[in-house]
Amino acid sequence: MKGVVFTEFMEMVEETFSPEILDTIIEKSDLPNDGAYTAVGTYDHQEIVRMASNLSEQVQLPVSDLLEVFGKHLFSRFTVLFPSFFSQEQTAFKFLKNIDSYIHVEVKKLYPEAEFPRFFYEQTSPATLVLYYLSSRHFEDLAVGLVKGCLLHFKQELKVTKENASYENEAAIKITISP
């Protein structure tokens, strides 16, 4: 996982909780580099899972809620860090349909060692978009947070639900975005 995800996670912890809580979770998470991440480095994604689990213990909130909060934060940071992916005439649905075929493809050119999930989508009605998330890393709560961050960015008030499903016989998480 790219360092940018780690540095943004730490920023979220510091801003949403406190610098002391950040120090505590860095200490408890037994990080090989003592929490010194650089945005361009690549690190084991389990380190973020450990930090999220220690944060959950510290602040008494479920890991799934924390990853969702992080996803929202990350999306708003992406709008600043990657402005070229955002244009005037976009909508949340157009943007989300492009993650797999365009956004992650472009990000991969910048960071060749990055590992992305796969997404498939079905627009089941004009107001409903279904995303299938496939990844061995199981960051579906992060994905839900990113989707919610995307809806906030485009000022669209829609519900987001997730459930276990399959896509062409592969295990997938079905994320439904609807009124």
Q: Which of residues 3-32 bind ligand HEM (CB under 6 A)?
A: 4-5
Examine residue 58 and tell whether it contacts ligand HEM (CB under 6 A): no
- Judged by beta carbon, residue 51 or residue 150, the one nearer ligand HEM is 150
Among 34, 82, 122, 127, binds ligand HEM (CB under 6 A): 82
Indicate whether 51 belongs to the interface with ligand HEM (CB under 6 A).
no
By beta-carbon proximity to ligand HEM, the closer residue of 27 and 117 is 117
158: tokens are 């829609």
> In angstroms, rounded to a whole number, what is the distance separating the alpha carbons of residues 139 and 70?
11
Interface size with ligand HEM, residues (CB under 6 A): 24
3-state secondary structure of 33: coil
Does residue number 143 form part of the binding site for ligand HEM (CB under 6 A)? yes
* Strand positions, DSSP E, 11-56: none
| Contact with ligand HEM (CB under 6 A) among 16, 24, 49, 116 | 116
Handedness of CA 14, 15, 20, 21 (dihedral sign): negative
Minimum separation from the CB atom of position 60 to ligand HEM (A): 25
Q: Where are the beta strands (DSSP E) in 47-158?
A: 118-125, 128-134
- Cα atoms found within 13 Å of the Cα of residue 128, Cβ hemisphere only: 10
Closer to ligand HEM by Cβ: residue 25 or 146 = 146
Cα–Cα distance measured from residue 169 to residue 153, given in angstroms and rounded to the nearest whole number:
33
